[in-house]
Amino acid sequence: MVRSLRFFVAFTTLVGLVLAACSAPAQTTQPTAVPQPAPADATPVRIGSKNFTEAILVAEMYALALEDAGIRVERKFNLGATPVAHTALVNGEIDLYPEYTSTGLLEVLKQAPIADARGILEAVRKGYEEQFQVTWLEPSPFNNTNALAMTRQRAEELGIRTYSDLVAHSGDLKLGGPPEFPEREDTKGLMAAYGFDPKFIEENFVQLDTGALRYEALTKGDIDVVVAFGTDGQINGLGLALLEDDKNYYPIYQIAPVIRQDALAANPQIAETLNRLAPLLTNDVMSGLNWQVDGPEKKEIADVARTFLQQQGFIK
């Protein structure tokens, strides 16, 4: 009886397997997707950037990634500050550029700061789509918030470790930063939140265009405090003291592609490609890449971007 039962089970199992094999969909070999070069007469996607190292680096990575995906690209980098780049985008002079989430929220949309990253992204997506027909793709994880830094020696001489420590000296110290810094809405809010002396952004403010010149002025003693970005390579490379924003005033600044909706509709592959690139760009990665350009090696931005993407296996 037991032997008969075992035979029955084995027989029904075999029959089941045969039926399952017969009913399964036929397996076909799918061809591997290989990006094809864009036709020479294809309309190029025009990629812009603002005028500092990190913005150009990220824009170059966007360009290399899209070219590797078979999309023709035209580079229009180093346009200027936020108002210039944003105007070029909405006027149709460029199709996309990398922008920071809280810059879009505060400087372009003129909305109040938001504390959490997801809330900022939802607000800029809604505002840009409604006002400019522009879409925000996925942001990278790094947070390049505004920062203030000093040489370690000068900070220790004055006993300054935090923004609150800096307040008592802010009428006497020279601050160096980009020309638009005193007029930014977040700067005005910062001044009010901490109670800095107005001289700090008026007669004691020194306009310095690029990141490299700013840090050179700081290390030479021409200025005492520099307006920095949290991922600037010089902060670690030059051993500077990054002052603590002890009231957590500055919001989160993640970078993401902002793209005209008509350009995205014409090239939907852009979203998939750039969203796949976004997670690679962390704080440590960007600080290291920025330092390769702005540090003593003075590497070319295009070489740094290409080498990084190749090392990650993102492009050939």
pLDDT at position 68 is: 97
Token reading at 143: 């947070």
- On whether the CB atoms of residues 199 and 171 are closer than 8 A, the answer is yes
C-alpha distances out from residue 117 to 120, 208, 244, 256, 280, Å: 5, 30, 20, 12, 17
CATH number of 146-243: 3.40.190.120
pLDDT at position 40 is: 63
pLDDT at position 113 is: 87
CA distance 124 to 134: 10
**Nearest residue to 177 (alpha-carbon basis) of 202, 200, 155, 209:** 209
Quickly state the pLDDT bin for 146 (edges 50, 70, 90): confident
Question: What share of the chain has pLDDT > 70, as a percent?
Answer: 86
Least confident of 36-50, 166-180, 210-224: 36-50
pLDDT digits (tens, 9 = 90+) for 196-228: 999 999 999 999 976 778 999 999 999 999 999
Quickly state the pLDDT bin for 253 (edges 50, 70, 90): very high
pLDDT digits (tens, 9 = 90+) for 53-64: 999 999 999 999
Q: Where do the structural domains in the chain lie, given as residue ranges?
A: 45-143+253-312, 146-243
Regarding predicted confidence, which is higher, 12 or 213?
213
Question: Which DSSP letter does residue 104 get?
Answer: I
Overall fold of domain 45-143+253-312: D-Maltodextrin-Binding Protein; domain 2 (3.40.190)
H/E run at residue 214: helix 211-220
Mean pLDDT of 268-281: 97
